[in-house]
Structure 1
Amino acid sequence: MLGPNPDALYPHEAISSLVFIKNCVKNPNIIVGNYSYYDDPENPERFEEHVEHLYDFLSDKLIIGKFCAIAKGIRFIMNGANHRMDSATTYPFNILGHGLEKATPSLVDLPFKGDTVIGNDVWIGQEVTIMPGITVGDGAIIAANSVLTKDVSPYTIVGGNPASLIRARFSEEIIAYLLELKWWDFPPEKIWRNLDVLCDTDLTLEKLQQMK
């Protein structure tokens, strides 16, 4: 076999900090594509613990595409973390019990931002926090220690707290071609065959068009 087995937990036997995420999560509301990995020297198999407040009764999902690289310290904050905001207090009295359950809010009273969606070929640096309902486009890069509070466009670099645009990675023409090409959907053999183009640091539209 050329390349790692996508169904392996540890794609490289000599690197114990890196796991393919889809092979270590059990929650059906976490959906991950092939070859996306989490890299953490402190038990990377516990990736699911970095997805916080994901509760079945809300039915939101974390969806991660293919070929994503996610560094240690990632925090996905899901919709279950939200408190009602339209009442005089945001305090969740109901979780304390002892008769305070009468203040339990209905689901329609709680902010709901929808699914969190990470595209394909996304690189997320160390200690990044992603708030509920964020969509990160294909090919984006998230700088270390960033806090995402809004969507990220494809093939852009963002960073900061809150994260803001640093720059686009390529020209509009190349970005449009990459989004249409969707190389991450190629059969593995075609990907490995075209690594010289995919990894070229002097990328041009002409080189992309020569992939075969």
Structure 2
Amino acid sequence: MSEFKYPDPNNLYPINNVKRTIYLKNIIKNPNIIVGDYTYYDDPEDIYNFEKNVLYHFEFMGDKLVIGNFCQIATGVRFIMNGSNHAMEGISTYPFKVFGGIWAKKDPMNVVSKGDTVIGNDVWIGNSVTIMQGIKIGDGAIIGTNSLVTKNVEPYSIVGGNPAKEIRKRFSEETIQFLLELKWWDWDVEKISDHLNLITSGDINALKEIFMNQKNKF
């Protein structure tokens, strides 16, 4: 039997004989959770824990969880969605309205949504990270284990702690801007595979040459 050439993003289990690591998009049932190709989730207990850990994600709120391509999501990562917000203008924060009856008519429940939660491409999220409502995490970021992410995370930055703070940038600002233009995660799988040694080794100069040659074709 000949070896397959490229991993298939539509394959639930991308690693032979390993059932704890999956290409995540293949188990998602909620239409308000959108996951890109080759993003994987690891969970030795139950791969279906992922959607269980997208918390307070009520349909009536309408918010989305959007995750890009080639992300790496560890066990126990939790996303706190906008259904967890409570109105705070009144004396009580109790959500009377959602329980119906006359309460639904008398409680205005002016809950403010913080918008969609958006995770960029090639983002590494460590074990047991919690990401709060409406957070935007930029491409290439790394989120340290057990972090509580309460603010947006810049592209190609490393953050950690409770609350999470920036530890350092992974590259210079010039290199980061180049990588955001390069968008290697949007290349077709053949092109990614042809240049994988450059992507994994961090050969920025060689990648710049490829990028300029591509631009000159148009």
- TM-score, length basis structure 2: 0.89
1:51 aligns with 2:54: yes
Structure 1: where are the runs of 5+ without partners? none
Encode CA deviations 1:124-163: one digit per residue, 9 max, x unaligned.
0000000010000000000000011110000000011111
Read off the aligned partner of 2:152 and give its amino acid letter: D
CA RMSD of aligned residues (A): 1.8
Match of 1:88 in 2: 91
Match of 1:181 in 2: 182
Match of 1:142 in 2: 143
> Shift of residue 101 of structure 1?
5.0
* Contact 1:24/1:46 (8 A) holds in 2: no
4+ residue segments displaced more than 6 Å: 96-99
Question: Which of 19, 30, 33 is residue 30 of structure 1 equivalent to?
Answer: 33
1:10 aligns with 2:13: yes
**Separation (CA, whole Å) in 2 of partners of 1:198 and 1:45:** 31
Q: How many residues align?
A: 208
**Separation (CA, whole Å) in 2 of partners of 1:2 and 1:101:** 57
* Contact 1:62/1:115 (8 A) holds in 2: yes
**Does the residue aligned with 1:26 lie in a helix, a strand or coil?**
coil
- TM-score, length basis structure 1: 0.92
**Separation (CA, whole Å) in 2 of partners of 1:145 and 1:86:** 32
Question: Which of 79, 84, 93 is residue 76 of structure 1 equivalent to?
Answer: 79
**Separation (CA, whole Å) in 2 of partners of 1:95 and 1:110:** 12
Match of 1:126 in 2: 127
**Separation (CA, whole Å) in 2 of partners of 1:2 and 1:28:** 31
Structure 2: where are the runs of 5+ without partners? 212-218
> Shift of residue 21 of structure 1?
1.0
The percentage of aligned residue pairs carrying the same residue is 54
Equivalent residue runs for 1:91-170 within 5 Å = 91-94=94-97, 101=104, 104-106=107-109, 109-170=110-171
**Separation (CA, whole Å) in 2 of partners of 1:11 and 1:47:** 17
Read off the aligned partner of 1:142 and give its amino acid letter: I
**Separation (CA, whole Å) in 1 of partners of 2:87 and 2:25:** 33
> Shift of residue 105 of structure 1?
3.5
Encode CA deviations 1:40-70: one digit per residue, 9 max, x unaligned.
1011133211111111111100000000000
Read off the aligned partner of 2:20 and give its amino acid letter: S
Which 10-residue stretch deviates more, 96-105 or 174-183? 96-105
**Separation (CA, whole Å) in 2 of partners of 1:150 and 1:32:** 21
* Contact 1:174/1:204 (8 A) holds in 2: no
